[in-house]
Amino acid sequence: MDHVDPAQPVPEHRAAEPLTEYVQRVNRRVRAFDRRRPLVWDLHLTGFWVLAALVDASGGWRNVAHERGVPVGLVVALSLALSVPLLWRRSHPRVALLVTLPAALVSAWSGAALQAALLELLLVHHIALRRPLRDLWWVAALVTVPTCVAVARYGDGAGSWNQQLGSQLLSLCVAALIGVTVRARRDHTAVLEERARRLETERDQQVRLAAAAERARIAREMHDIIGHNLSVITGLADGGRYAAAKSPDRATQALDAISTTSRQALGELRRLLDVLRDDDPDGTRAAPELAPQPALTDLDHLLEGVRKAGLPVRTTVQGDAALPEGRQLTLYRVIQEALTNTLKHAGPDATAHIDLSYEAGGAVTLTVTDTGRGTPLPSPALSGGRGVPGMRERTSLYGGTLEAGPRPAPEQGWRVHLHLPEESPQ
């Protein structure tokens, strides 16, 4: 008894997969060549069957013939008539079958019983492969006509009539079944390929949508962080320039505030960029130092910076409620953006007022107004700005509404009104 070392792989397993891959690769190449040059393949295959039919016409046909005295010229002509139409078996299989039918009838009536008549089964296969299945009914009727003619003329000279007719019908069913099976397999493969293509397209669309949403989120965060701090720095610089001539101490304070605000903005920008970096494939770089998102408890620090930039701000708070972090961040960013727009567009001597009202059930109303007389906010569609659209996006996350526009006459300035509804129960 032979002993097999379990550590040694079985040779057949190593050879099976490469052989399968080789056959599949050759099959793909043949199919690709056939798609590029179908006429070349048709000519070669038709030439093979024409040659086989002529070889049979050289004398082999007499072995199964009912009548051996059929002229050789007629046999050659019938062999060509039964084999040459195969050239159109894929483009016009029904026409090719109708062309071969007279030759098959003559072959059956004369008693030659040429083997080339079996080539009609190849045409039946292509009809089942490419034409509607209802065509198989009249195809079966046409193909069995020569057999019926041979049985009627020569009786049981080559076997009983039921054997001949049964053999013919069986061959016809096999050819049609192969065609239907190949067709079903081809259609199934096409459906799978189309489904894979749609899934790939949907996946790419989802990736693009996710990337666009992430870009919008990053742009909104950078706008809120950098835009506000730069506006504060601009206000401090303008105030320091006017104070430099009259009060050097005030100018020094403005410069100190500019320095502090710049460092804060730079630190927040670095933290944001560290999160976005993807240049550490080995994971050796230390994780970025993340800071928590601002909340309403940080509002005093925000207002202090705005006041240092020269914008007086009053606040009115009604009620007391503990809001989730997400809602606090939304309120903070809306207040930040509204005050930033006031610093940019309200002009000198403007003041701002923040009215924050907590309601039952977690609802909250925020109104930020200013008394500015400067240029109005440009349209976001024209300026490409992200301020007001960003506020609306944040508000819509919680089903709220936001209105932003000039205050009604005779009042001057701008008004931002936000309302967040009650929190839906989980």
Measured CA to CA, the distance from residue 320 to residue 103 in angstroms comes to 101
Q: Please give the model's pTM, rounded to 2 decimal places.
A: 0.48
What was the pLDDT predicted at 15? 46
What was the pLDDT predicted at 271? 66
Cα 219 from chain centroid? 25
Residues in Cβ contact with 151 at an 8 Å cutoff, skipping those fewer than 6 apart: 161, 164, 165
What was the pLDDT predicted at 14? 46
Query: Maximum distance among all alpha carbons in the chain?
Result: 133
DSSP state of 322: -
Tokens standing for residue 389: 């659209």
Closest of 326, 332, 257, 264 to residue 299, by C-alpha: 332
Per residue of the chain (426 residues), give pLDDT as tens: 444 454 555 454 444 457 888 888 888 888 888 888 888 888 988 899 899 888 888 888 888 888 888 898 998 999 999 999 999 988 889 999 999 999 999 988 888 888 888 898 999 988 998 888 888 888 888 888 888 888 888 765 545 667 777 888 888 899 889 989 988 988 898 899 899 889 888 888 888 888 777 777 777 766 666 666 676 776 667 666 666 666 666 666 667 677 776 766 666 666 666 655 555 555 555 554 555 678 888 888 888 888 877 789 999 988 877 788 888 888 988 998 888 888 888 877 889 999 999 887 778 999 999 988 755 555 444 344 467 887 888 888 888 999 998 988 788 888 999 999 987 665
What was the pLDDT predicted at 135? 85
For 105-213, list the strands marked E by DSSP. Answer: none
CA atoms 333, 338, 343, 348: torsion sign: negative
CATH 3.30.565.10, the chain: domain bounds: 312-426
Cα distances from 311 to residues 13, 58, 261, 270, 273, in angstroms, run 81, 111, 15, 28, 30
89, 50 in Cβ contact below 8 A? no
Reduced to 3 states, what is the DSSP secondary structure of residue 119? helix
What was the pLDDT predicted at 163? 75
Domain 312-426 has CATH 3.40.50.20: no
